[in-house]
A and B are shown apart, each in its own frame.
Chain A
Amino acid sequence: GNSVTQMEGPVTLSEEAFLTINCTYTATGYPSLFWYVQYPGEGLQLLLKATKADDKGSNKGFEATYRKETTSFHLEKGSVQVSDSAVYFCALDSNNNDMRFGAGTRLTVKP
């Protein structure tokens, strides 16, 4: 079945450091890929998405590129801020109302 594997945390970085959170997937067909972010005490909210191979999703300085050849959708940001501290979830959707999420990666950014 479809599944998502993402880098286990927690990840702790200093402000302005470079961030990479790895995400790989297993799926049949051509899924859409997402990154959701969960701030403390809140529900998940969409950070970015890509619906086909080679698409790049971007938002708030975060980027991820849909790589079909490596079945990956790694999240990157060039310079993290304290306000980026949250839990990040990679997810895939195979067009059948069955969104699959990774386990989540907790990011803490220190001043």
Chain B
Amino acid sequence: NAGVTQTPKFQVLKTGQSMTLQCAQDMNHNSMYWYRQDPGMGLRLIYYSASEGTTDKGEVPNGYNVSRLNKREFSLRLESAAPSQTSVYFCASSPSPGQGGETQYFGPGTRLLVL
């Protein structure tokens, strides 16, 4: 049981390049999330998917797109990377959509550096 997995673990991009961060969970969870973690700011929600086939914007969606490929997989795409997107990206999942008090389960993170 791997939980939440993310690839790659580390990536360096040049400004303007594109890339997709992959996330998969094997817990049969309905909801999945993408966060970014920046020093002194905690985690901020980029996008989430409450269930397969739906996606919604979070607090900081600009510059990103997402795809809920199936119930297991939720990818985050940067179409034209900018230095401001240098961050650590975490994917998370939870069992049910919109149920307050549910635990979120996090992947190990992807460290992205945009030059």
Write the residues of chain A forming the contact surface with B, with a CB cutoff of 8 angstroms: 4, 31-32, 34, 36, 41-46, 49, 51, 89, 93-99, 101-104
Q: Which of B40, B41, B44, B90 contacts A43 (CB 8 A)?
A: B90
Q: Is the CB of A45 within 8 A of B100?
A: no
Q: DSSP class of B's interface residues: helix, strand, loop or mixed?
A: loop
A34 / chain B contacts, CB cutoff of 8 Å: 103
A to B CB contacts below 8 Å, 23 in the list: A34-B103, A36-B106, A42-B108, A43-B4, A43-B108, A43-B109, A44-B43, A45-B105, A49-B101, A51-B100, A51-B101, A89-B43, A93-B101, A95-B98, A95-B101, A97-B56, A97-B97, A98-B58, A99-B33, A99-B43, A99-B104, A101-B44, A103-B41
A44 to B3, CA, bound (A): 13
Tell me whether A95 and B103 are in contact in the complex, defined as CB-CB below 8 angstroms, given that A89-B42, A89-B43, A104-B42 are known contacts. no
Q: Shortest Cβ distance from B61 into chain A, in angstroms?
A: 12
Q: Is the CB of A97 within 8 A of B98?
A: yes
How many contacts between A and B, using CB within 8 angstroms? 62
Q: Is the CB of A97 within 8 A of B31?
A: yes
A98 to B39, CA, bound (A): 20
A1 to B98, CA, bound (A): 17
Instruction: Kindly state whether residue B45 has any CB partner on chain A within 8 Å.
Output: yes
Instruction: Kindly state whether residue B74 has any CB partner on chain A within 8 Å.
Output: no
Instruction: Kindly state whether residue B95 has any CB partner on chain A within 8 Å.
Output: no
Can you name the residue of chain B whose Cβ is closest to the Cβ of A92?
A: B100
Q: Is the CB of B100 within 8 A of A94?
A: yes
